Structures are given as C-alpha cells and as structure tokens.
Amino acid sequence: MLEDRPYMRQDSFDMRRSATLVLMVALIAVFVLQTTLHFYTNLGRHFPVDEYLALSLQGLRRGFVWQLLSFQFLHAGLLHLFFNVLTLYFFGRSVEETLGTKAFLKLYFLSGFLGGVLQVLANLVLPQHHNITVVGASAGILGVLTAYALLFPERSILLWFVIPVKAKYLLWFTLFLSAYGTIVPFDNYAHTAHLGGILGGFAYLRWGPLAEKLFVRRRVRNRSRELIKVHLPKGAPWQRSRGEPEELPPGEFISREVDPILDKISAHGIQSLTPRERKILEAARARMERR
C-alpha cells in the first residue's frame, strides 16, 4: 500500500472529472462482471472470459489481438484489484494533473500495451518462462508510477503508510525487482509485464509529445540560482513591446516566456506554435544544453 505527499495543487484537481477515477471505476466494474461470469461458469454454464480476454501466447496466435488491451481490465483476485486501484489512486492524480488527461491516458495504455508485448515475447523466447496467462492493470499502473517518480523524484512516499521512501528510490527498487523476475522468474507475477510498463512510462516521458516541456522545466529547476541568457533577433516586435532584457532570473524567464509556450504544447501540440514561440523555446533549450 502506497501513499504520496504532498500533491501539487491538490485543491484544484477535481477527481470527479478525472480519467484516474474513470479507470478505477472501470477496473472495479469489469472485475465484478468477470467474477460473476466465473461463478456461473463453475455452475456449468460456459463463459470463456480468460480464453478470449486474458493475454496469452495461444490467444494471440489465434488472432485475439484485443487481448493486449482487454487483459489490462481483468484481475486474478480481490487483493490484486485492491492494490492496483489503490496505487492508481495515489499516483494517478498527480500525474494526470501534471500531464493532462489525454497524455495521462496515452501513458497508461502505452505502458500496459508494452508490458503485455514484452511478457508474451518472454514466454516465447526465454525457456525459463512458463507460458502463463496474464491479467491485471499492473503494467499500466507501473507506467504511471514511473512517470510520477520522474516528475517528482524527491517526493516522500509512505510505503505501507509506515516507511518513508523517495519516489526515485521506489522506482529503482521496482525496476530491479521486475528485471530480476524477468531473468529468474519467481512466484506467479508477470514481472516482464511490469518491466514493460516501467519502460513504457520512461519512454513516454523521455520521447513523448510532452518531453520538450518536461525537459525545459527540469533544467530550469536544476539551475534555479543561475541566469539564463536567451539570445533572440533584435528589433523583434515582442522585444519592443516588453523591453525584453537578454538576461532573466530563471523563475521570471520560465513564467514569462517559456511556461505559456509549454502549456500551449500540452493543450494543442507542438504544431500549434508560432515561429516566434519556436525560436524562444529552441533558444532556451540550446542555452541550457550548453551549460
């Protein structure tokens, strides 16, 4: 059981309209349906839920490609569901608020998809892996946890509400456990799917559409006591209207020039930027990369 603190602008985040809440409700609803069908199957009626919806190498060979999505909504038991929903609740809110709902959903399902693909490949090419059927939202949720740890590495997390651990250390431990379980399988967990979820979360933040925004903010935060020099063409209209000093404290620079541009990328994509906004962003990034 995990708890993070503190959240960024928690008072402004409306859980009633969040994708995090929708996913939690969907996981619970599907579990209720899944267990109901299992119950009636045991009574003699045939509802092949696992055969068609759980992820397996045999299923993919039969053309059931939807299993790469459907397995993310099934669970092996109530405790499995409980811990996944709880982890999603604690970390999903902050990640969704930071990335935005659309990016959050892309992160979640990309991580789940990659986790499923890697698990099936491990079953296929690694002889020590049993050809298991995979269910659970863990891969997608670990992608969310990875994003959380990359966005807020120094935040304190209470593991089991008792042991304080920084987010970055929790990520490293989870990565090690998943990688070890891939090489030397133990228990009945799909460790390779967990590893794929972690890699998916990392890839999305490192190379996804918001990577530019996160990169600039991280570099500015790491150099918060330095001046950032941005050289732009002289005589440009925005320089005449504002005076535009060429040296700005990082806090003022990020709030006045870069933040509005990055927010625009988050809302409308990088293709929406004007030539002036692209120059500011490219100049800021180039300057910070040289430092």
Average pLDDT value for the chain: 79
Does residue 220 or residue 50 have the better pLDDT?
50
Mean pLDDT of 192-218: 81
In the chain, where the domains are located: 2-207, 211-290
* Residue 45 pLDDT level (bands cut at 50, 70, 90): confident
Distance CA 31, CA 39 (A): 12
Q: Check residue 164 and give its pLDDT.
A: 84
Asked whether residue 248 carries a pLDDT value surpassing 60, the answer given is no
Asked whether residue 246 carries a pLDDT value surpassing 70, the answer given is no
* Residue 230 pLDDT level (bands cut at 50, 70, 90): very low
pLDDT tens column, 138-149 = 999 999 999 999
Architecture of domain 2-207: Up-down Bundle (1.20)
Amino acid at 135: V
Between CA 132 and CA 139, with CA 80 as vertex, the angle to 5 degrees is: 65
Amino acid at 290: R
Q: Which of 78-92, 105-119, 151-165, 254-268 comes out lowest in average pLDDT?
A: 254-268
Q: Check residue 238 and give its pLDDT.
A: 42
1: tokens are 């059981």
Distance CA 250, CA 287 (A): 12
DSSP 8-state symbol, 257: I
Asked whether residue 269 carries a pLDDT value surpassing 70, the answer given is no
Q: Check residue 268 and give its pLDDT.
A: 63
Distance CA 284, CA 291 (A): 11
Distance CA 139, CA 103 (A): 17
Does residue 254 or residue 135 have the better pLDDT?
135
* Residue 177 pLDDT level (bands cut at 50, 70, 90): very high
Distance CA 108, CA 266 (A): 17
Mean pLDDT of 207-215: 67
Mean pLDDT of 260-276: 70
* Residue 186 pLDDT level (bands cut at 50, 70, 90): confident
Asked whether residue 290 carries a pLDDT value surpassing 50, the answer given is yes
Residue with tokens 């499923």: 116
* Residue 155 pLDDT level (bands cut at 50, 70, 90): confident
pTM for the full model? Answer: 0.71
Going by C-beta distance under 8 Å and a sequence separation of 6 or more, which residues neighbour residue 197? 111, 112, 114, 115, 138, 139, 140, 141, 142, 143, 146
